Amino acid sequence: MRGFSDFQRLTYNLVNPTPSSNDDYNAFFRQNLTRFQRWMARPDTAAPISAKNRDQLAPRGASWSLLRYAIDQYSGGAARTFTRALAAGPQTDVANLLARVPGAQFDQIITGWLVANYADGLTIPGIAPRYSYLSWNIRDAMSGANANTFPLLVTPFPGTFSTQSLSSSGNYYRLTRTTSSPQVQVKLTAPGGGTIASDYPTVAILRVQ
């Protein structure tokens, strides 16, 4: 390996400088990036905490990136101590992660991760540090792994959509305001137009300009 530090901000060219003959990229990086690419192609249909990550690539890629995000944001700069504690348990799954980040709520972690998956690498002025990765430039790395096109599915807005998201996953929309439509109203309803009954749906609005 090339001596990367635990929190070095990796780009695609750093991990794959010679694509035609980079054995360590294929051994240590390609599979995670490819799996995460599958999640980005349809983020509403796979979740990082799904039991399906045992045998499906998209949720497995989401699990990898969520763990990497959690290490970046919640390990206090001690990545190896954090991962050793996860491996030791005795908790498992979400309870194991929350036991390593006392005081953090799972929806807080998931929201930060979902926003970071889009915002990281955009250099948005004033954005909170929690909406980023420390160890990867995700936009650069994922674009490089996908023929220089960022693979995250972002649907144009406004419009009327009927969609569902698995718990701990989400949908991404892009709203472009114009002088002819300076104000836009967004309304979320349950299937059929009723009131959303769940306490947990979260909407994060990110202004990029």
Q: Mind listing the pLDDT tens digit for each residue in 135-174?
A: 999 999 999 999 999 999 998 876 666 677 777 888 898 8
Look at residue 7 and tell me if it is in a domain: no
Look at residue 96 and tell me if it is in a domain: yes
Specify the pTM.
0.89
Number of domains observed in the structure of the chain: 1
Instruction: Answer yes or no: is pLDDT of 1 > 60.
Output: no
Look at residue 114 and tell me if it is in a domain: yes
**Containing domain of residue 114, as a range?**
12-152
Look at residue 30 and tell me if it is in a domain: yes
At residue 161, the pLDDT reads: 62
Q: What is the 3-state secondary structure (H, E, C) of the chain?
A: CCCCCCCCCECHHHHCCCHHHCHHHHHHCHHHHHHHHHHHHCCCCCCCCCHHHHCCHHHHHHHHHHHHHHHHHHCCCCHHHHHHHHHHCCCCHHHHHHHHCCCCCHHHHHHHHHHHHHHCCCCCCCCCHHHCCCCECHHHHHHHCCCCCCCCCCEEECCCCCCCCCCCCCCCEEECCECCECCCCCCCCCCCCCCCCCCCCCCCCCCCC
Residue-wise pLDDT for 21-33, tens only, equals 678 888 889 999 9
The Cα 173–Cα 45 span in angstroms is 15
Look at residue 59 and tell me if it is in a domain: yes
At residue 2, the pLDDT reads: 72
At residue 182, the pLDDT reads: 62
Look at residue 33 and tell me if it is in a domain: yes
Greater model confidence, 85 or 193: 85
Look at residue 143 and tell me if it is in a domain: yes
The Cα 25–Cα 31 span in angstroms is 9
At residue 73, the pLDDT reads: 97
Look at residue 21 and tell me if it is in a domain: yes
